[in-house]
Structure 1
C-alpha cells in the first residue's frame, strides 16, 4: 500500500518566502548621499534583498516614497517619461546615478585632493587611497605609484 500523502519539509529545508508587498515601515532605506550614489544603491539593494522585495514596481515605489524632496525636484521630468514605465526601478536607478554621480574627471580630482601622508601611518594613507579608489577608474599600478610618491624619502 502506497502512502499518497506528501511530507512537509522541515522549516530549515524550505525555501525562504519571498515577499512582494511592502509593509508600512518594513524597509527603511539609508539616507540618500548625492556624492556616493553607487554605494547608496548597494545599500538599497541589500535592504530589498533582506526584506525579500523582488518586484520592480515595489522597489521603484519604495525609493520614490523615501527620497528627499530636494532629490525628487531634480527628477520631476522622469515621472512623465513614457520610457520610465518599462523596468521602472532600473530606469529610476540609472536616472539617479546619471543626475547625481560625479564625472570621471571630478572623481579623479577628488581622489588626488588632499592626498598626502601628513601625520598618518603609511597603512592609513593606503587604506584611504583604496577607499577613494573604489569610486574612481584608477588602476592598481597607478594607485601603487601614487602611494609610493606620498611616502617619505
Structure 2
C-alpha cells in the first residue's frame, strides 16, 4: 500500500509553489462484492485527485490477486484504447458477481439467519432479491427463516 508523501521542490522553499502528493490507500480486494471495493477505491482516487484513466487502470491491476486478475486477463493484456479503467471495472464486477438467477435461487432455498442479527439477515435477503421483489414477499421469507422463538415476537 502507498503511504502519504509530501514532495517539495526548491521553489517551494521560497514560497512560490507547493506540490503535495497523497498516496492511494487501496483496500484489500473484495471478490464477493467487487462493486463495493470499486466504490472504496474510487473514494481514494478522489481524495488523491487521481482522474487519469490509465493511472486508475494500473492502480487496480497492480492490486489484484492473480486469481482475480486471471478473470480479466484479456483486458489486462490488451486494454482498450479508451476507458481502460471503466472497462476493467465493468468486466470485473460482471465476471465475479453472482448471476441474478443464482441470487434468486439462493434467496429461495439456502439462506438462513446463521450468526447474523435479524436486521442484518433481512438486508442480506434484500440484496439477494434486488429491487424488483416486493417487500411483503421478502418479509414473508425472512420471518419464516427466523427461529421459532423469534417468529412469535
Answer yes or no: is 1:149 the counterpart of 2:144: yes
SS of the residue corresponding to residue 34 of structure 1 reads coil
Instruction: Find the aligned partners of 2:102 and 2:76 in 1 and give their Cα distance.
Output: 29
Kindly indicate whether structure 1 or structure 2 has the higher relative contact order, using CA contacts under 8 Å at least 6 residues apart. 1
- In structure 2, the CA distance between the partners of 1:80 and 1:64, relative to structure 1 (3 Å rule), is closer
- In structure 2, the CA distance between the partners of 1:90 and 1:128, relative to structure 1 (3 Å rule), is same
Q: Aligned-pair distance for 1:73?
A: 2.2
Match of 1:56 in 2: 53
Answer yes or no: is 1:129 the counterpart of 2:125: no
- In structure 2, the CA distance between the partners of 1:62 and 1:129, relative to structure 1 (3 Å rule), is same
Q: Give matches, 1:1-153, under 5 Å.
A: 26-81=23-78, 84-112=80-108, 113-116=110-113, 124-137=117-130, 138-151=133-146, 152-153=151-152
Q: How many residues align?
A: 126
Any unmatched runs of 5+ in structure 1? 1-18
Normalised TM-score (structure 1): 0.67
Q: Aligned-pair distance for 1:131?
A: 3.4
Deviation per residue, 1:42-92 (Å, 9 max, x gap): 21222212222122221111101111122222222223546x221111100
Normalised TM-score (structure 2): 0.67
Instruction: Answer whether contact 1:126 1:147 (CA < 8 A) is retained.
Output: no
